[in-house]
């Protein structure tokens, strides 16, 4: 259980800072001429397909394929995050965009269901929900990890009030700062704590059998996953307090996650698609407010690459299996 602490600076480009990546513009990949033509051809291929039947082979255009190959290398082997910018989506309906987006995402990894509704393409919007899911609120979401290895968001409509600003921060750059400034805090972060599922979730194992670390180091690669809500729920279900050394470490961790020298904040425009490694980046969003005339809408993918990053099994069991089990329980009901 647990891994040795990585006790030297991480020099890989995935430990990026706001300055080293070039700020918001440095995150963007401007789509080449011909990409839209390839997307139109893709739309003709998948328009009549159900989402579950869409696959990587549906993408055949060479320009699109080259962009996706570069994107995959960036997310899985390079800095770990990129925003595809410049796609005009004004002629497409939301169902069209779901099919296009899913087909593009299959070149990064296998799409996963995101709720018991078996949605391969999630809708990030303010909507009523029987369980506490942040993406269905209009509240601020502080930097955090989510489920599955690669995450993606695509903007369909921006919030009318100018809110809903996205943020990304490298959890590996944060590791460097902790190692430099407060190295004693790495030990409790590498130990972690038990995760507990919310009481409304219908799963057989409401508390993880082992602690889930915040950081791990496998095959020389540092990875991160954190969900403070699951940790607090785990402590509540166990009837114990979160260890004070972990509380201190997490407070420092979360403060670093919003350090203006580390986090990049930007407004995603309609048609822009952000892809990032969940194991090397945290993501965030500011609050927003809809109006009766216009509501914010983003599409979301959870993707699992076949040749993914090596991580401890606790990462995979802590969140992936919990949502997967919830889906299985709903399907069996």
pLDDT (tens digit per residue) in 168-208: 999 999 999 999 999 999 999 999 999 988 666 666 678 88
Contact 107, 275 (CB under 8 A): no
- Determine, yes or no, domain membership for 6: no
Q: Supply the pLDDT for residue 218.
A: 97
Q: Supply the pLDDT for residue 221.
A: 97
Domain that holds residue 324: 18-332
- Determine, yes or no, domain membership for 1: no
Q: How far is 120 from 118, CA to CA, in rounded Å?
A: 6
Per the structure block, which two tokens stand in for 150? 């690669």
Q: Supply the pLDDT for residue 332.
A: 47
- Determine, yes or no, domain membership for 293: yes
Q: How many domains does the chain have?
A: 1
Pairing of strands 150-157, 141-144: unpaired
Q: Supply the pLDDT for residue 324.
A: 53
> Model pTM?
0.94
- Determine, yes or no, domain membership for 68: yes
- Determine, yes or no, domain membership for 9: no
Rg value, the chain, Cα: 20
Average pLDDT, the chain: 92
Q: Supply the pLDDT for residue 133.
A: 83
Q: Supply the pLDDT for residue 318.
A: 73
- Determine, yes or no, domain membership for 13: no
Q: Supply the pLDDT for residue 321.
A: 47
CATH code: domain of residue 26:
3.60.130.10
Torsion of CA 291, 292, 294, 300, to 10 degrees: 80
- Determine, yes or no, domain membership for 255: yes
Residues of the chain scoring pLDDT < 50: 321, 328, 330-333
> Distance of CA 296 to CAs 28, 123, 144, 291, Å?
21, 10, 21, 9
Q: How far is 32 from 11, CA to CA, in rounded Å?
A: 30
- Determine, yes or no, domain membership for 3: no
Strand partners, 215: 224
């Amino acid at each position: 259980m647990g891994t040795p602490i990585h006790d030297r600076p991480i020099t890989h480009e995935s430990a990026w800072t706001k300055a080293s990546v070039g700020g918001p513009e440095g995150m963007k990949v401007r789509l080449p001429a011909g990409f839209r033509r390839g997307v139109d051809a893709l739309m003709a291929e998948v328009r009549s397909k159900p989402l579950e039947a869409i696959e990587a082979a549906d993408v055949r255009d060479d320009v699109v394929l080259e962009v996706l190959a570069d994107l995959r290398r960036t997310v899985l082997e390079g800095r770990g995050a990129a925003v595809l910018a410049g796609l005009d989506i004004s002629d497409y309906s939301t169902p069209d965009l779901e099919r296009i987006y899913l087909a593009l995402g299959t070149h990064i990894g296998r799409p996963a269901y995101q709720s018991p509704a078996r949605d391969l393409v999630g809708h990030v919007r303010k909507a009523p929900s029987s369980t506490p899911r942040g993406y269905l609120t209009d509240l601020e979401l502080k930097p955090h990890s989510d489920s599955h290895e690669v995450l993606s968001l695509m903007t369909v409509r921006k919030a009318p009030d100018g809110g809903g600003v996205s943020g990304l921060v490298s959890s590996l750059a944060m590791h460097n700062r902790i190692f430099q400034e407060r190295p004693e805090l790495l030990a409790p972060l590498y130990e972690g704590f038990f995760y507990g599922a919310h009481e409304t979730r219908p799963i057989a194992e409401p508390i993880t059998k082992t602690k889930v670390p915040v950081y791990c180091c496998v095959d020389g690669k540092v990875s991160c996953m954190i969900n403070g809500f699951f940790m607090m729920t785990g402590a509540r279900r166990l009837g114990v307090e979160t260890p004070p050394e972990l509380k201190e470490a997490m407070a420092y961790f979360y403060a670093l996650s919003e350090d203006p020298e580390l986090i990049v904040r930007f407004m995603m425009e309609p048609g822009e698609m952000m892809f990032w490694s969940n194991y090397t980046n945290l993501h965030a969003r500011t609050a927003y407010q809809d109006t009766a005339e216009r509501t914010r809408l983003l599409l979301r993918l959870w993707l699992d690459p076949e040749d993914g990053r090596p991580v401890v099994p606790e990462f995979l069991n802590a969140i992936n299996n919990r949502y997967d089990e919830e889906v299985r329980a709903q399907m069996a009901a």
